[in-house]
Structure 1
Amino acid sequence: MTLTFEDLTHEGNGVGKIDGYPLFVPYGLPGEEATVKVVKVNKNFGYGKLLEVTKKSKDRVEPPCNVFYQCGGCQLQHMSYDLQLEMKRNQVKNVMKKIAHLEHVPVHPTIGMKDPWRYRNKVQIPVGNRDGELITGFYRMRSHDIIDDMETCVIQDEVNDRSVHAVRRIANQLGIEAYDEKSDRGVLRHIMVRTGRETNETMIVLVTRTKKLPHQEEFIRQLTETFPHVKSIVHNINDRRTNVILGRKTKVIWGEEYIYDTIGDIKFAISARSFYQVNPYQTKVLYEKALEVANIDKNDVVIDAYCGIGTISLFLAQKAKKVYGVEVVQEAINDAKNNAKLNGITNVEFVVGEAEKVMPEWKNEGLNPDVIVVDPPRKGCEPEFLEAMVEMEPKRIVYVSCNPSTLARDLRILEDGGYETKEVQPVDMFPQTNHVELVALMSRVDE
């Protein structure tokens, strides 16, 4: 059947209608006509498969990745970067209208990258076996079948690509077996590489099922001779039958426990398990935007909820009188304290705990923040946390989000609690994918 695409879903699928019935088709672009096969029909909408584009959009581009249509890690390489940015802004506008019921709040144009490729500073790649040889590559969409003709990933740092190839070559030469998840046998499960964008320091993490890494000394010798910029080689043991990449036990087998990177003027120590943003260029843009709208001065007390390893906290501390960070993960708080020490920043205090429980305790102790910055996981904020935030009555709330829908839901609750949404700024942290980060500014109505 022939279909004309009118719009895009938030996942980047083309939307066409047959007698008012919407059909979602991956890789279709607005304004295009195409031959489509219907593959699934629900009550309110259906799914189609794109067979042939008969009238192309000016925004259709040739994906530079040779496995784009097999991999699924990126969803938008077939569309121009301008359209990607516009799509992300429209997605935010839609949820602000439909979920938050805030039609008139300014949603600014998405801040993109000058060069939206090779931005990821971390790769985690599975290892498999094909005809007795080790292979590395991402899984095919909706499968655990490794795409073995994948020589490069165009959104990964090239150093990470080369490091993965080197590990695979050395492991092959030393006869180290790949892990087989069906039989739960074999050795090497995943290769993880992290690179400091500003420092060029690299950490290589070898994830094995076994407690020992075979030929460890020779492996280290060859790897460090191949890559002099490698600062850390880490062995992680994951002996469970699981899809989780890292196991519980991690040990440094060569070099340092940390590599370092900087965002703006702040230096960060990154371990194998540290949460650290994968696109440091846009992280700087995102945090500078959060700092700008927070409008902090030297007399302000700030709370950074879900503070992680202290990335936003340390940015805020450059301007504020005092910053309090709270985070539920103990290791992250340890990293945050180390990062504060590393930068000689003394006006921050980090606490382990659930933000919704810690904040009422702080309020009872007489802590009255001027600004609260919140950067929750994809599921958004817990209702108790939103309630605690409203009760603390900060002048401003800066909400950093990686999920437009949960952001819109939470903004609605905060609006009903006496706050007004002033502006929303989308930032493209993950070009070529359908993800978008946001910074929203809210002020107390009586301010």
Structure 2
Amino acid sequence: MKRKIRRLSIIDNAREWLFALFLFAGYYKADPRLAFIQTHIDLTLLFLILSFLMFLYRLLRKPFAQRVPIGFVKEAAFFLLLAACFLGGLLITQSKGYGLDKTLRFIVLTGWAFFGTAFLITDYLSLRRFSWAVVIISTMMAIDALSNYPGVGRVSFVTALGSNYIALARAGGFGLLATLAFLLPTERRPLAKLCLWVMAILQTLATLSAGARGPVLALGVSLLCFFALSVRGFPHLRVDRFSWRLGVVLFIALVFIGTVGQEIFSTLFFRTQVLMTHLGESALTRLHLYEEAFRLWASSPVWGVGTGGFAMAVTGSALVRAYPHNIILELGAETGLLGVLFFVAMVWMAFSIGFAALRNSGRFARATVRYLLVAGCFALLNAMVSGDINDNRMLFTLVGLLSCTPRFQASIAAKGIVGQLRHSSSATNRLKEAQV
């Protein structure tokens, strides 16, 4: 009987890991070491299916345990309206093939990235398991990247697990924020804290070594938001002890980067200097794409030019994948004002729920909500400077998690939750028994 319970517990706890592997599959599935799987089935699709099966398994075991917060229901309505804009855009687009592919990816892949948050990440402990998965995936990418480090003073992009330098910096940013803003402030075990600090150092080195400017800038702004959200008690301002300590650590890190960073992170420093002086080819290309997106949006303000129409207008080919590297301009150009309004409403509502929860939270709930707000900020800023809407599916994951903050608050406030925060197996089992 005990063996059966243990087996069921392992299966139930795997859902967050499978979901995280699905979200980050695009960052590692091109690794030649995974070709023996990728040649038979796409890893993104594989982990989507496995994580969905975990949802069905949980649903069959506990059919009444899937209580979805009302805020998420409202967010889901806006997501479906946005999906309807994509479907409607297929009727007017000149790029039927690419438009259909983009729409299917949005409904299936980005859709599960959004809806999976409500169906798989069901309480505080579930969110912690998901965050640990993100941190470990990020750390594995960091280790692989640092093993390929080109050397001090050499200007060269750094990649990991077959991905590109932007994916490495993004993964490092998500992992670093999960480590610093959530796991470390709420962790109780000294050994786990030590491991988290080591992983944070690896993630920082990999993120800065990659050479990607956008994710690093987004990470810097997000960390500033973390400290801003750590201040409370106006007019008698107070900052929690961990934030003070983290501020000291980051100040020392900034001094170190300012002293030797130009040699160690030479690619990032060189590309930043180019941006400040001559803009560079990458920035000029982005500006051109922004202008094209504005022009297309102005030509059809309400409906846009259709799903995938931006690529056709810019490249002249229906087979080439192209986008303006800004999620607002992408939606405006292809789905018009309607698509932009539905997307902005989703983001606005999610952050509003998060800020409302932040004002009425205790220590652990406050740390949880603060982390989701900061990670959501990081995802949103990245979506404004690189990738298309499906590349930025983590933004929709954070939107879903923010809309579920009342669920996390309730699980923290539940009877016996303080014992669970120490992550002993007995406490975890007590919580599960209480939820049945």
TM-score range, shorter chain: under 0.3
Considering fraction of residues, name the structure with more helix: 2
In terms of Rg, which structure is larger?
1
Considering fraction of residues, name the structure with more strand: 1
Give the TM-score normalised by structure 2. Answer: 0.23
Higher RCO (C-alpha under 8 Å, 6+ residues apart)? 2
